[in-house]
Amino acid sequence: MEKREKIYEGKAKQLFTTDDADLLVQYFKDEATAFDGKKKGIIEEKGVLNNKISSRIFTMLEEKGVKTHFVKRLSDREMLVRRLRIIPVEVVIRNVAAGSLCKRLGLEEGTPLKEPTLELFYKSDPLGDPMINESLAKVFGWATDSELGQMKESAFKINRILSEFFNERGIILVDFKLEFGEHKGQVLLGDEITPDGCRLWDKSTLEKMDKDRFRRDLGKVEEAYREVLRKVME
């Protein structure tokens, strides 16, 4: 597989074309951002850790029947993925109140939710990824009824699988972000599943094991990511 032109660079990843028009190389960076890019920094070896974590989780999800863009891990920082037409609607699943949900609704962090909740956000860095609803997604052409239906069904399925997977390893899956895209008529899970986009708490101590350690200057960020990798590889 020949890696060619860089076609995208985001906060945490780069995408490169290959000699196969249907496949891309996804490269994981060490850069970290928070608060819509207002806070920036480096998490040492984050790209290596996230690539390994995401590869493990994507492989497990595929085995459970979830269709993803993941093909295989190529190196410490690179994975081979299917080329997607990204649907610009991010899906957030919440199991426990944390982050922006607490700020919006005045909830105490850590409040368990009676059932998983799903929120939609328009994927737009300049606008700060504003929260939207299905009607807005459809009226502006960001996603169709069919795409939204598939995304929601897949998101709740992924939550059931991941919640059990992490619980078995002593981790609470508090909430997480998902991105989807279309590939040859199918809606596939894309992007990554890592401590960058998931809130993960130690089940015994409630210690944070995710990017909130970077956001809130809690320290031991690299150690938390390494511990997540160790546990997901069990």
Query: Is 21's pLDDT higher than 90?
Result: yes
Backbone angles phi, psi at 94, to 5 degrees: -125, 130
Convert the pLDDT of each residue in 75-108 to its tens digit. Answer: 999 999 999 999 999 999 999 999 999 999 999 9
Q: What is the pLDDT of residue 38?
A: 81
Q: Give the separation between CA 65 and CA 160, rounded to whole angstroms.
A: 12
Question: H or E element: which one contains 22?
Answer: none
The DSSP-derived string for 57-115 is: HHHHHHHTT--BSEEEE-SSSEEEEE--EE-SEEEEEEEE--THHHHHHTPPTTPEEEE
Pairing of strands 85-86, 78-82: unpaired
Say if CB 16 and CB 6 are below 8 A apart: yes
At 36, is the pLDDT very low, low, confident or very high (cuts 50, 70, 90)?
confident
Convert the pLDDT of each residue in 182-205 to its tens digit. Answer: 999 999 999 999 999 999 999 999
Q: What is the pLDDT of residue 198?
A: 98
Q: What pTM was estimated for this model as a whole?
A: 0.96
Hunting for tokens 């989780």 — which residue is that? Answer: 57
Q: What is the pLDDT of residue 35?
A: 85
CB-hemisphere CA count at 13 Å for 170? 14
DSSP 8-state symbol, 183:
E
Query: Is 65's pLDDT higher than 80?
Result: yes
**What residue ranges define each of the domains in the chain, with the CATH number in brackets?**
3-82 (3.30.200.20), 85-220 (3.30.470.20)
Question: H or E element: which one contains 161?
Answer: helix 145-167
